[in-house]
Structures are given as C-alpha cells and as structure tokens.
Amino acid sequence: MGIFSKTCEYAVRAVFYIAQSSQEGRKVSIKEIAEKVKSPEPFLGKILQNLSKVGLIQSTKGPHGGFFIDPEGLKKPIADIVLAIDGEQIFTGCGMGLDYCSEKNPCPLHHDFKKVRNQLSSMLKKTSIGQFNLQLIKGSVTLYK
C-alpha cells in the first residue's frame, strides 16, 4: 500500500473525475466514474455514498441523475477526502505508532517525522478539489491512460 489506503485512492480519483465533469456541466453515473478511474463499480458506489453523506459531493437519483460537485465544493481541500476515508491519523499520528508521542515525550523519529507530516498536510490542505479541472480537460494531467 502507498501512503493512502486503496479506498482513499479510488475516492480521490473519483472526486477529481466528478469535479472535472461538473466543470463541464454534466452529472456522472457510478458506472461511468468506475470505468474511468478503474475502480470496482459496486465498491465505488459505497465510497461515493459515504462522500455524499459528509457533503463532499452531491447526487440526484433517477434518469439523468448522477454525481456532481457544486462550485463551493470545488474549493474544498483534498484533505477533506483523505480525512473522510482514512481518518486523521495521517495528519497527526506518530510515525512509529506510539500514542503517547509528543513534543514533550518524543519518539526517536518525532522531529523528522513532523516535517514530513506537515509537508503532506499542508499540501493536502492547500490543494483544492477543483484545482486541476482545466489541466484535466486539456489533458496535461490525467486520471487514466
């Protein structure tokens, strides 16, 4: 596994895809998203259901329904996705898994690890969900081959 769980990777890819589609003014179905971001369709359904519950994405049922993200949502940081799926451990947890670890009572890696964590956190917090929409549309970054 990478830094994030597989579930979280699917989530980030899906949200970027929905963001791009919303920019283009269309709603997208689970089926379409799953094909594009190469994730198992029923599992992605569950993930999107959760993201919808916490308000990170919106959806409507029925014909011509699907998922979308409103303009306000596009401004939210991708940290929100990671937090919703993987929890806060990655933003705050000790690198060696020690629950007591702190500035006062540091583990050996505490100070070095803090730098890495901070860089990761600030990157996730300053990067917005809609930030890559134009690059995705023109193809200078991609979500699939």
What residues line the site for DNA (CB under 7 A)?
Answer: 1, 5-7, 10, 28-31, 39-43, 45-46, 48-49, 52-53, 59-67
| Residue 119 contact, options its own copies, DNA, none, Cβ 5-8 Å cut-off depending on partner type | its own copies
Sign of CA dihedral 67, 70, 71, 76: negative
42 binds, among DNA, its own copies, none (CB under 5 to 8 A by kind): DNA
Residues that bind its own copies (CB under 8 A): 1-6, 9-10, 12-13, 16, 78, 86, 89-90, 93-98, 100, 105-110, 112-113, 115-116, 119-120, 123, 127, 131-132, 135-136, 141-145
DSSP 8-state code for residue 28: B
Residue 31 interacts, among DNA, its own copies, none and using kind-specific CB cut-offs from 5 to 8 Å, with DNA
Q: Which amino acid is at 131?
A: Q
Tally of residues, the chain: 145
| DSSP code of residue 98 | -
Cα atoms found within 13 Å of the Cα of residue 67, Cβ hemisphere only: 28
